Amino acid sequence: FCDVGTPKPTAAPEYRKSYLSIDQQRRCRYIISLEGNDVATNLKWIMSSNSLCLMPPPTYETWFAESELVADVHYVPLEPDFTDLAERVQYLERHPTEAERVVAAANAYCRKFADERAEQAICLLVLYKYFVLSGQIEPDPEVWRFISG
């Protein structure tokens, strides 16, 4: 029931699939997001799409604040070995309102990152905190009160 595979030419023929663009993947109702050696890079665009994100709970943290994501609110959790994938999809197929609620919550979570001015300010404050904590500059009390703690 899953359309999965790899574009690697060394893969067994039954697992070889051509690469799908993000636009092609966004046409799918459900998309699995997986961490590799680092954060799952597709997580942000999946959660800002109309597709539902299924994934094992995230273990890496980036500016996206993955630790703030709540299972069954922002994404549908999966066991790391995917043994519950079929059961999760069957449940979502029987409960489309539940799936729509998760997609809506994921979209809402992503909207807070869409404010370009706020993102720029956050980037500058992160750099400022780094310079202060690494001893490169002294903190200005008026600025530091926003980022200490």
pLDDT at 110: 96
Q: What is the DSSP secondary structure assignment for residue 30, as one 8-state letter? A: E
Rounded distance, CA 104 to CA 142, Å? 37
Q: Using one digit for the tens of pLDDT, what is the confidence trace for 39-50?
A: 999 999 999 999
- Residue 120 tokens read as 């720029």
Q: Using one digit for the tens of pLDDT, what is the confidence trace for 29-40?
A: 999 999 999 999
Which residue is associated with the tokens 């059961």?
87
Count CA atoms closer than 13 A to 141's CA, side-chain side. 0
**Side chain identity, residue 49:** S
Answer whether 110's CB lies under 8 Å from 50's CB.
Answer: no
Q: Using one digit for the tens of pLDDT, what is the confidence trace for 85-102?
A: 999 999 999 999 999 999
